[in-house]
């Protein structure tokens, strides 16, 4: 089968157009995305940590241990944590909101998580993995998908607002 010069030119032009689309699509992938990975050891068992992260009353008690939290200007919404998969949560007086994505009882919690002043519709993913570690628990934490440039601020916040008060609450 012979092709005409016109057909050949069309095929070449089509191939170049597809190549430029592919190239443009590749350029839309962020190569500077931030992520947080933290590992924290607790003397408490996995069941106790899992409950503290998902029970409204326990979470409220834990956050009362954060210095300055009671006077911080964050909002007026009460802590609310649904225990249902797909349910919502409101933390730190409405400053943090989200939805539960996955539960594996006493082992894993995955949440779509956001700070209320992020752009509308911007959610990150947080994963709390609870692993037996001697007589206690190693919490392996990963946070991805948050706005670029916030990694240090968020990493410090996880330590100050979650891990340190959780350590105090559980002892």
Q: Are residues 6 and 76 in the same domain?
A: no
**Is 76 in the same domain as 47?**
yes
Residues 105 and 134 grouped into a single domain:
yes
* Pair type for strands 136-144 and 88-91: unpaired
Same domain, 113 and 38: yes
- The DSSP annotation for 72-110 comes to --S-SPPPEE--STT-EEEEGGGTEEEEEEEEETTTEEE
Q: Give the range of the structural domain holding residue 45, as residue numbers without chain letter.
A: 34-170
Alpha carbons within 13 angstroms on the beta-carbon side of residue 151 total 12
- H helical segments located in the chain: 5-27, 46-54, 56-63, 151-158, 164-170
Tell me the sheet residues that pair with 132.
137
From first to last of its 171 residues, the chain has per-residue pLDDT tens of 555 555 444 444 444 344 444 444 444 555 567 899 999 999 999 999 999 999 999 999 998 888 766 555 566 788 999 999 999 999 998 999 999 999 999 999 999 999 999 999 999 999 999 999 999 999 999 999 999 999 999 999 999 999 999 999 998
Same domain, 38 and 103: yes
User: Of all residues in the chain, what percent are helix, strand and coil, respectively (each to 5)?
Assistant: 35, 30, 35
**Pair 14, 82 in one domain:** no
Q: What's 52's domain CATH number?
A: 3.30.530.20
pLDDT of residue 157: 93
Q: What is the pLDDT of residue 2?
A: 53
One domain for residues 87 and 147: yes
The per-residue pLDDT for 18 is 40
């Amino acid at each position: 089968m012979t092709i005409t010069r016109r057909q050949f030119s069309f095929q070449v032009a089509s191939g170049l157009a597809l190549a430029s689309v592919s190239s443009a699509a590749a350029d839309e992938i962020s190569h500077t995305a931030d992520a947080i990975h933290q590992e924290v050891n607790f003397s408490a068992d996995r069941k106790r940590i899992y409950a503290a992260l998902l029970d409204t009353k326990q979470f409220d008690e834990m956050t009362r241990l954060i210095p300055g939290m009671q006077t911080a200007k964050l909002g007026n919404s009460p802590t609310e944590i649904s225990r249902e998969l797909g349910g919502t949560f409101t933390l730190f007086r409405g400053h943090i909101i989200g939805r539960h994505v996955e539960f594996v009882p006493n082992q894993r919690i995955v949440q779509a998580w956001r700070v209320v002043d992020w752009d509308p519709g911007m959610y990150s993913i947080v994963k709390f993995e609870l692993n037996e570690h001697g007589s206690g628990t190693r919490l392996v934490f990963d946070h991805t998908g948050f706005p670029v440039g916030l990694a240090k601020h968020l990493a410090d916040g996880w330590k100050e607002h979650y891990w340190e008060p959780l350590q105090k609450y559980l002892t």
